[in-house]
Copies of this chain bind each other. A is one copy, B any other.
Amino acid sequence: MAIKYPNGHLPLYNEVRKKQLKRASQKTTFSNRGMRFEEAINQSNDYYLNHGIAVIHKKPTPVQIVKVDYPKRSAAVIKEAYFKDASTTDYNGVYQGHYLDFEAKETKNKTSFPLQNLHEHQINHMRQCLTHQGICFILLWFSSLNRCFLIDSQYIVEAWEKQEIERKSLSLTQIEKIGIEITVGIAPRIPFIKAVDQLIESKEK
């Protein structure tokens, strides 16, 4: 299904994408948009991989490829493509036989995490993974507070289902209760596997 989006199509999608790309200077390339929390997680994943602790990878950005050139004697060049909404979460992998699945989110908010940072299909994906006994969570970074939490997706899904659309958020007070706080370190930078151990332990009880 190669859909070429005409001008003006998918305005909502476009608004969302614009917000996502807001940080990217148009002079620099897209890949430099510098999501620092994401980088810290990627480096932590590298650490866990290299130390034989867990195999976790970030999924590639989903792209709808429309036009490809095949110049002679050089690599194929994609000349036209569009960003697609991710249908799942950003990260998954394996840890001690467990299926891990998570999304990394950053907020400047100091008192709550607004759930509109998540998409409906991501919530659905979390719900499905939970049903199949996956270890599913969100890594949340309060950038203004310098605090990091792992939140079991179970709570996210419940909050999403319970609340009215306008109010969808988890307060910091709630997060302090239901989440597992992660102290940011050096190697790995986000030592989230310790929190995963706690999560698995609490699920097995």
Q: Provide the bound-state CA to CA distance between A67 and B81, in Å.
A: 11
Q: Which 9 A-B pairs have the closest CB atoms?
A: A97-B133, A2-B29, A94-B99, A78-B81, A99-B99, A60-B62, A94-B134, A7-B74, A2-B31
- Residues of A near any B CB (own CB < 8 A): 1-2, 5-11, 13-14, 17-18, 21, 24, 26, 29-32, 49, 52, 54-55, 57, 59-68, 70-71, 73-84, 87-88, 92-101, 125, 128-129, 131-134
Q: Provide the bound-state CA to CA distance between A45 and B55, in Å.
A: 22
Are the C-beta atoms of A75 and B82 separated by less than 8 Å? yes
Q: Provide the bound-state CA to CA distance between A133 and B96, in Å.
A: 6
Chain B residue nearest to A132 (CB atoms) is B94
Are the C-beta atoms of A75 and B30 separated by less than 8 Å? no
Are the C-beta atoms of B5 and A75 separated by less than 8 Å? yes
Can you tell how many copies of this chain the complex includes?
Answer: 2
Are the C-beta atoms of B95 and A92 separated by less than 8 Å? no
Given known A-B contacts A55-B129, A55-B134, A78 and B63 have beta carbons under 8 A apart: yes
Are the C-beta atoms of A97 and B132 separated by less than 8 Å? yes
Residues of B within 8 A of A9 (CB): 74-75
Are the C-beta atoms of A77 and B80 separated by less than 8 Å? yes
Are the C-beta atoms of A82 and B77 separated by less than 8 Å? yes
Q: Provide the bound-state CA to CA distance between A110 and B168, in Å.
A: 57
Q: Provide the bound-state CA to CA distance between A132 and B13, in Å.
A: 38
Q: How far, in Å, is A50 (CB) from chain B's closest CB?
A: 10
